[in-house]
């Protein structure tokens, strides 16, 4: 097999990896914000539930969570899960990453000095106005570095979808490696992931620079 | 000012994404609804209503199922499954699976059968089986020039097997070769044969217990670096595995296999994949 056909096939897998990446990011960031509100809620029951959810998501391997999400409906309800593979992958990734993002959001929100809320109150801002217009934009700036960390980890974690036999890039690399009895596809995969992450890190640092307007 | 707009826009995107989040959760609800239609591929429904035939296979298992040079899944078993589908007018869906999860995939109905150099022996009661179509044996592969010449030389050596493979079952079943397996220093399990052969080459394992068809393919691809021991661990047969109780589909496939044997398709495919001496239909 020539290198170019290998690249074409792995490029195909790359698209699937990218689609997992984008969907996870787009869904888990807002979900993470909501979860962080629950984590900081004054309602003790809600806070307890959310804290437990975060501790489970962070305390068990993502690969295991993916298997549970995919095969769970069959074992619990005898449901047919034939058409459910991709949804299960996205769902598994989103609930896992939302837990991590929630803690990042919480660290950002709680790092804002109380004086800002008081000043906003004096100026006649409502609580929600103060949060949306004053607090959240600052939080965004503060949490960018840890969010970048998680985002880069996510790129690499997409390879875990191979546990559900989804043919993203890593699965395809392994399959080509098996048929051609060589390790070359795995090296190509490493280069693909590295380029992907290089681009992601570049975009994130561009956003970070754009937002650092008071420095 | 411009920068403030940018920050606001970023927050806006997040809020918008929130809406997509809601939108998507409802669409995932509908997709679970649409899976009702594919519930037709479960063992319960009648064979006459079938339009697709979903085969689960390990895509890292040449020559029975693998990715060819064009990136399509192919192999002896998949081409045979295609021939069956041509007879029945079904559409063949090739669904690569993670071999460790094969039972979950089959029981949950995401595949109709496991058709991929699937050893019957030792699993007779776990699946509903088609007629055996291929004679197989488990053999031991060692690097060329190894001092291991026969099975008893394996004593104290590190031997590799694929996880959940027939070779593993043979070496751990006391009715078969457990006595031999117990003399090994270690029985090392691998997910795929590519890793296993590389470890064999690198010397971190001494021998590899493997299906003879796969061994022949690997040795042919990799050149002279490996030899197969003359003594085999056992002899066994390949069949198509269906969910336990799904005899209707099994009977249909058996009938088709017989037809394909009679019209010569099976032998032609076997020659193409170099396993003609193994066919036992």
Same domain for B124 and B256, yes or no, is yes
For residues B68 and B200, membership in a common domain is answered with: no
B175–chain A nearest CA distance, Å: 32
Least confident range of A108-117, B1-10, B266-275: B1-10
> In this complex, do B108 and A180 lie within 8 Å of one another by their Cβ atoms?
no
User: Per residue in A56-78, pLDDT tens?
Assistant: 999 999 999 999 999 888 888 88
Compare CB distances from B67 to A91, A163, A179 and report the shortest one's residue. A179
* pLDDT tens string A9-47: 899 899 999 999 999 999 999 999 999 999 999 999 999
ipTM for this model: 0.72
**Would the CB atoms of B60 and A167 count as touching at under 8 Å?**
no
Residue in chain A lying closest to B109 (CA): A80
Which residue, among A175, A206, A211, would best test binding to B if mutated, counting the most B CBs under 10 Å from its CB? Answer: A175
Interface of A with B in 76-115 (CB under 8 A): 79-85, 87, 90-91
Q: Is A154 on the interface with B (CB under 8 A)?
A: no
pTM comes to 0.76
**Closest Cβ opposite residue B17 in set A9, A26, A175:** A26
Task: State the nearest Cα–Cα gap between B132 and chain A, in angstroms.
Answer: 25
Three-state secondary structure readout of B40-81: HHCCCCCHHHCCEEEEEECCEECCCEEECCCCCEECHHHHHH
B211-268 per-position pLDDT tens digit: 998 898 889 888 878 999 999 999 999 999 999 999 999 999 999 999 999 999 999 9
Give the mean pLDDT of B120-126: 90
pLDDT of res. B267: 92
State chain B's maximal CA–CA distance in angstroms. 81
Mean pLDDT, to the nearest integer, of A80-85?
A: 77
Could you state, in order of their start, the residue ranges of all structural domains in chain A?
Answer: 22-168
Contact between B96 and A167 (Cβ < 8 Å): yes
pLDDT at A3: 84
* Minimum distance, in Å, between the CA of residue B261 and any CA atom of chain A: 27
Same domain, B113 and B174: no
Mutation target to probe the B interface, by most B beta carbons within 10 A, among A15, A79, A83 is: A83
Do residues A73 and B31 touch, judged by C-beta distance below 8 A?
no
* Total tally of structural domains belonging to chain B: 2
Q: What integer pLDDT is reported at residue A121 of this predicted model?
A: 94
For residue A15, give the H/E element and its range.
Answer: helix A3-39
A22-168 CATH pick, 3.40.640.10, 1.20.1250.30, 3.40.47.10, 1.10.3720.10: 1.10.3720.10
Q: What is the mean pLDDT of chain B?
A: 83
pLDDT band at B11, cuts 50/70/90?
low
- List the one residue out of B241, B210, B81 whose CA is nearest residue B136: B210
Per-residue pLDDT tens over the stretch B69-81? 888 899 999 999 9
pLDDT of residue A125: 94
The residue range of the domain holding B215 is: 136-236
What's the CA gap between B209 and B161, in Å, rounded? 5
Residue B176 in any domain: the answer is yes
């Amino acid at each position: 097999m020539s290198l170019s056909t290998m690249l074409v096939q792995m490029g195909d897998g790359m698209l699937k990896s990218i689609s997992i990446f984008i969907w996870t990011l787009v869904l888990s960031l807002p979900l993470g914000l909501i979860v962080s509100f629950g984590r900081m809620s004054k309602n003790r029951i809600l806070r307890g539930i959310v804290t437990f959810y975060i501790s489970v998501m962070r305390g068990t391997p993502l690969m295991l969570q993916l298997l549970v999400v995919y095969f769970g409906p069959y074992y619990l309800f005898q449901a047919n899960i034939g058409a459910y593979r991709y949804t299960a992958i996205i769902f598994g990734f989103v609930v896992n990453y939302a837990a991590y993002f929630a803690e990042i959001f919480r660290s950002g929100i709680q790092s804002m000095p109380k004086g800002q809320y008081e000043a906003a109150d004096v100026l006649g801002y409502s609580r929600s106005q103060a949060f949306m217009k004053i607090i959240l934009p600052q939080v965004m700036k503060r949490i960018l570095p840890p969010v970048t960390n998680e985002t880069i980890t996510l790129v690499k974690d997409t390879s875990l979808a191979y546990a559900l036999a989804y043919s993203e890039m890593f699965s395809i690399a392994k399959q080509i490696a098996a048929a051609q009895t060589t390790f070359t596809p795995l090296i190509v995969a490493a280069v693909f992931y590295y380029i992907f992450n290089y681009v992601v890190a570049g975009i994130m640092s561009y956003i970070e620079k754009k937002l650092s307007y008071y420095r | 000012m411009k920068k403030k707009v940018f920050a606001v826009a970023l927050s806006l995107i997040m809020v918008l994404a929130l809406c997509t989040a809601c939108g998507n959760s409802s669409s995932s609800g509908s997709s679970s609804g649409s899976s009702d239609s594919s519930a037709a591929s479960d063992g319960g429904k009648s064979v006459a209503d079938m339009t697709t035939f979903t085969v689960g296979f390990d895509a890292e298992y040449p020559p029975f199922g693998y990715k060819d040079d064009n990136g399509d899944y192919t192999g002896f078993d998949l081409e045979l499954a295609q021939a069956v589908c041509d007879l029945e007018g079904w559409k063949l869906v090739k669904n690569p699976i993670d071999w460790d999860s094969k039972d979950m995939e089959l029981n949950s109905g995401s595949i109709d059968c496991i058709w991929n150099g699937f050893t019957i022996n030792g699993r007779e009661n776990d699946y509903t089986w088609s007629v055996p179509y291929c004679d197989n044996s488990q053999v031991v592969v060692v690097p060329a020039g190894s001092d291991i010449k026969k099975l008893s030389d394996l004593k104290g050596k590190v031997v590799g097997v694929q996880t959940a493979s027939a070779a593993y079952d043979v070496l751990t079943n006391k009715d078969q070769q457990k006595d031999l397996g117990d003399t090994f220093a270690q029985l090392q399990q691998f997910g795929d044969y590519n890793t296993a052969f590389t470890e064999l080459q690198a010397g971190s394992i001494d021998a590899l217990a493997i299906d003879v068809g796969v061994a022949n393919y690997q040795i042919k691809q990799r050149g002279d670096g490996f030899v197969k021991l003359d003594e085999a661990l056992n002899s066994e047969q390949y069949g198509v595995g269906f969910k336990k109780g799904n005899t209707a589909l099994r009977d249909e496939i058996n009938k088709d296999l017989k037809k394909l044997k009679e019209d010569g398709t099976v032998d032609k495919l076997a020659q193409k994949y170099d396993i003609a001496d193994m066919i036992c239909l």
